[in-house]
Structure 1
Amino acid sequence: MKLDGGIAGAIGGTPLIRLERLFRDEPFAVFGKLEGMNPGGSAKDRPALHMLREAIRRGDVIEGSTVIESSSGNLAISLAQLCRFLGIRFICVVDPRTTDAHKRIIRSLGGEIELVEQPDAATGEFLPARIARVKELLGTIPDAYWTNQYGNPDNARSHQDTTMREIGDELGKIDYLFCGVSSCGTIRGCADYIRSRGWTTKVVAVDAQGSILFGGSSGPRRFPGLGAAIVPDLHGGDLADIVVKVSDADCVWGCRELARREAILAGASSGGVLAAVRRLAGSIPAGSICAAILPDRGERYMSSVFDDEWVKRELEIDPDAWNRGGLDMLYLNDSHITEAGVDWVKLAGIAEDAVRAMDRGEYAAPLKTYLRFPEPGNRIIATPAYLGGPHPLAGIKWIAGFPGNIKNGQPRAQNAIILNDPENGLPLAFVRCNLLNGLRAAAVSGVMLRAYADSRPDQDIRLGIIGWGPIGRLHLDMCAALLGSRLKEITLYDLRDIDPQSVPEAVRGRTAIASDWRKLYRRSSVIATCTVSAERYIDEPAAPGSLLLNVSLRDFKPEGVAGVRAVIVDDWREVCRENTDIELLHLRHGLREEDVRTLADLVCRDALAEFSGETVFFNPMGLGIFDIAIAGHYCREAVKRGLGIELP
């Protein structure tokens, strides 16, 4: 018995194409290995062929044998096809997650379906129950052979000898390999090939949320082919350099984006792999060559991934925005942002990513324009910006500040942002949201706070906030979220009386209200000034080693901070004007641009290392790139959740 020629000869040699449209704005190249072009429709054709060939060579599979395997679908199709070609029996043990499309194909190729309907009693998972059923069948069927994809080294060797070799022959040494994991045959074989050649390639394992392959607890997973409820023998301890866990929604998004931008219809795990590339985009160096293995075709997911009603019902996501492709304009307001929720770790991370993009030169941000009328105190500030990175956007923020509005019961400031597609200039979103301005300010302060806290890992934090308006309250929320148990004490001060009930219940027991700003200032290690004070009032140095978050920019008299060496700004040109504390230090004490450090120095070059234990004076004027980045995040969240109003 031989397994050569015919359909077996068509396996492998799949196309490797550059995904230029999907990653058009990235400084690196991504090549997709289209494994769905194998005759059985997936990457599983390769191990099916190799495992059967080796079993025949060893005499484990002979005329009259029955091949048995536990599979979620794709390997079963590959084995059914090759067993039909050999003229031998094939039984596939599946569970309810296997799609009807997969089962129909298996039966069409002569395979028999053995459905396990109840999960394993001990673990609640189907995979152990499927394997137990395989072992039962092996004990009752003469000349039965289990290919055992989870522990058969021939599974991994097939990818070492073919998949990764093909990628290497075409691209040479690559910088990143993105590979979905389940039985771990593909990633094991590819990793072995890479390491056998001494390449420095980063191997990225794309796992499913709810999988235990790389730790964590087991949970529900809707799609086959990604993740596992057991750790297979092929796993090993050196499988991957980076692990990215993706959700079912990530898989759907990736598949639909691939179809929309590249006209490639691929299966759920392919979408997950592409979502992982997108997630790591901000950390992939410019010029890198990335290969992404896209395991199967999309036709088998018509009733799930590509079914709008299924996506709405099962994932509770409105797919219309994905289908629109961003061609319509989205309107968001405060209520939409509130419904999307505030994740301070994520927002600070977004601000930090924007800093990194700025440091790479992937931005444009002219100086703000101030329009004053009819009274000098009234103004509209225009802040245009472009930000590159994983989610490139352009746009402009308009913020109108009219102090007299307060007397009329109206907001002092009005904030609006327009986002544009940087490739064609088309407007993507209009965001009218005062909350967004505060979220941006607190997120940027969060970048500074995290760096400060990381430089003092053993120090408990005593937080003081001067000014209990919206910005002050958001700063308390941010500090509590980022500092956690390290935040031991909170002191608040405002010219107006502060209602203790206005303090979030979670931190109320740690919070005191000061009757004088000096009491707060002298006992706090982190002080945030969040006022609209018309006059400077802080005239004394802070306690040594403090962090001064000068959010309102005009609270410190020069003598209070003239002795501070660690002065951090977001942008010198912006902050050294408009009567800021930095401008006064420049004019009266000779502070120069070369004397300060920037957020880019902080994030990218560990600027605090040269100021160990010293007081830090942070002055963020507010750059448009941060407004664009935060607004872009909420627009993406709105699209995922079906929030906002579509404008014609």
Structure 2
Amino acid sequence: MTPQVSQVPSFSVISGAQVHQVLDGAEDEVVSTVEAAYRLHGEARTVNPDSYFLRFPDRPSSRIIALPASVGGDVDVHGIKWISSFPENVATGLPRASAVLVLNDAANGYPFACLESSIISAARTAASAALAADRISRARGTRPTRVGFFGTGLIARYLHTYLAATGFAFDAVGVHDLSAEHAEGFTGYLRRAAGDGVEVTVYDKPEDLIRSSDLVVFATVAGEPHVSDPGWFTHNPLVLHVSLRDLAPEVILTAWNAVDDIDHCLKAGTSPHLAEQLTGSREFLAGTLYDVLTGAITPPADRPVVFSPFGLGVLDLAVAKYVYDRVRDTGELHTVPGFFHELKRYG
């Protein structure tokens, strides 16, 4: 019996310009997409293996990371993000990170799209943090009105955009960066984006930034902790610890801590991982963002609250599939004719 021949799979390439066109102004939908992916992950309807790090002996600050994943539910897709981080790029005028993402058909495994993914990665990172900030602040019964940004790159800009889209209105914005030039550039962006009614202050000292903020955003490229005094956090701020390695274990251990995935977050020298190594346990963790979303845990108002998101590949896939569907629905997919060639088993 001759097996039925399936339709030849198509393969599409979606550019960064197309990704930006879909995501710009769609922050609410992206946050909802990320929340749905977190809920699928919490319900064990995803597969999210460990990330794989390609490192270079002659460039210890640089790396390229592979994040394979699979998402069930309505997303129903497999795939992988391949993202590089070369901090030296910034000095030459290039962004630090660049990325592509491949989507695979859940039924036959064939890749069907390759998307520029640095924008997707920034959007899912910002949406994750904004979602956490929104739900945690609601649970605490207080909405932050003073935000401080520790680090002023692309991720910080996306975080500000997504916080605003999630309903945060700040009376004051603080900025701290090791580079005065970068701090000045981000300050200019903030004044354009937030308007004249918002006070923007550049802080030379990290302590001053933290003490003046009830929402602290870490978006740096730090490889090891550089904030070690728990006394800076006695006003009980909400901390979005997006860059994962800024806080010393002493700060982590005095805070109420949530992560997006415990096993993923507590490895590779992250601040929570260092806290685990110091104490020999994970008792300092209250739980995950999924636990916050479902009401299983409630963040307190009388302690610092730290959310440390590892950044799961399932989020990238969910946002990438959202982009793919929107581009397909507009009829603007750029397919590569004949991309798959050897499709007959015996020629």
Taking structure 2 as the reference length, the TM-score comes to 0.85
Whole-Å Cα distance in 2 between the matches of residues 330 and 342 of structure 1? 24
Q: What is the letter of the counterpart of residue 463 of structure 1?
A: V
The one of 251, 260, 278 equivalent to 1:570 is 260
* Compared CA separation, residues 404 and 458, structure 1 to 2 (3 A): closer
The residue number in structure 1 matching 2:77 is 393
Report SS of the residue matched to 2:29: helix
Please say if 1:518 is aligned against 2:207: yes
**In the aligned structure 2, how far is the partner of 1:484 from the partner of 1:561?**
25
CA distance in 2, matches of 1:579, 1:452: 25
**SS in structure 1 of the partner of residue 131 of structure 2:** helix
Question: What residue number does 1:560 align with?
Answer: 251
Query: CA separation in 2, counterparts of 1:597 and 1:558?
Result: 17
Report how far residue 457 of structure 1 moved: 4.1
Q: Which residue of 2 aligns with 1:454?
A: 138
- Secondary structure, aligned partner of 1:377: strand
Following the alignment from structure 1 to structure 2, what is the Cα–Cα distance between the partners of residues 519 and 644? 49
- Give the counterpart letter for 2:227 in structure 1: I
Instruction: State the SS of the aligned residue for 1:503.
Output: helix
Return the match for 1:331 from 8, 13, 28.
13
2:209 alignment partner AA: L
Cα distance per residue 1:440-470 (max 9 Å; x no partner): 1101112211112212445442111111100
Task: Tell me the amino acid that sits aligned with residue 253 of structure 2.
Answer: A
Offset at 1:379? 2.1
Q: Quick check: 1:422 aligned with 2:111? A: no
Match of 2:192 among 476, 486, 505: 505
CA deviations on 1:377-432 (whole Å, 9 max, x unpaired) are 33221111111122211101111223333344433222111001111112121012
Number of residue pairs the alignment of both structures matches: 321
Q: Does 1:439 align with 2:119?
A: no
Q: AA paired with 1:405?
A: N
Structure 1 residues 458 and 550: alpha-carbon distance in aligned structure 2, compared to 1, 3 A threshold: closer
Larger radius of gyration: 1
The AA in structure 1 aligned to 2:171 is K
Choose 440-449 or 426-435, whichever is displaced more: 426-435
Q: What is the CA distance between 1:534 and its match in structure 2? A: 4.1
Matching residue of 1:48:
none
State the TM-score, normalizing by the size of structure 1.
0.47
| SS of equivalent residue, structure 1 residue 622 | coil
Cα shift readout 1:70-89 (whole Å, capped 9, x = no counterpart): xxxxxxxxxxxxxxxxxxxx
Equivalent position of 1:351 in the other structure: 34
* Secondary structure at 1:483 match in 2: coil
- Structure 2 residue aligned with 1:402, among 82, 86, 89? 86
Runs of 4+ in 1 over 6 A off after TM superposition: none
Whole-Å separation in 2 of the counterparts to 1:429 and 1:383: 16
Q: CA deviation at 1:592?
A: 1.0
Question: Residues 545 and 615 of structure 1 are in contact (CA less than 8 Å); yes or no, is this contact kept in structure 2?
Answer: yes
Distance 1:589 1:508 in 2: 46
For 1:554 and 1:602, locate their aligned partners in 2 and report how far apart those are by CA, in whole Å.
23
Equivalent position SS for 1:491: strand
Please give the per-residue CA displacement for 1:62-121, whole angstroms capped at 9, x wherever unaligned: xxxxxxxxxxxxxxxxxxxxxxxxxxxxxxxxxxxxxxxxxxxxxxxxxxxxxxxxxxxx
**Matching residue of 1:601:** 291
The structure with higher relative contact order (CA 8 Å, sep 6+) is 2
Secondary structure of the 1:528 match is strand
* Distance across 1 between alignment mates of 2:159 and 2:120: 13
C-alpha contact (below 8 Å) 2:144/2:168 kept by paired residues: no
RMSD between aligned residues: 2.2
Q: Which residue identity lines up with residue 596 of structure 1 in the other structure? A: A
Tell whether 2:48 aligns with 1:365: yes
Decide whether aligned partners of structure 1 residues 371 and 453 sit closer, same or farther in structure 2, where only a CA change above 3 A counts. same
Distance 1:535 1:458 in 2: 31
The residue correspondences of 1:133-172 to structure 2 (distance < 5 A) are: none
Q: Which letter maps to 1:466?
A: F
Q: Among residues 35, 58, 63, which one is paired with 1:379 in the alignment? A: 63
Residues 550-604 of structure 1 show CA distances to partners (whole Å, capped at 9, x for unaligned) of 111111122223211x211111221111111011101113341684301221112
Return 5+ residue gaps in structure 2 as ranges: 1-6, 338-347
**1:549 alignment partner in structure 2:** 240
**Quick one: structure 1 residues 434 and 459, their matched pair in 2 at CA, closer, same or farther if it must change by over 3 Å?**
closer
CA–CA distance in structure 2, aligned partners of residues 508 and 354 of structure 1: 33
Q: Hey, what's the Cα distance between the residues in 2 that align with 1:456 and 1:573?
A: 26
Q: Secondary structure at the match of 1:472?
A: helix
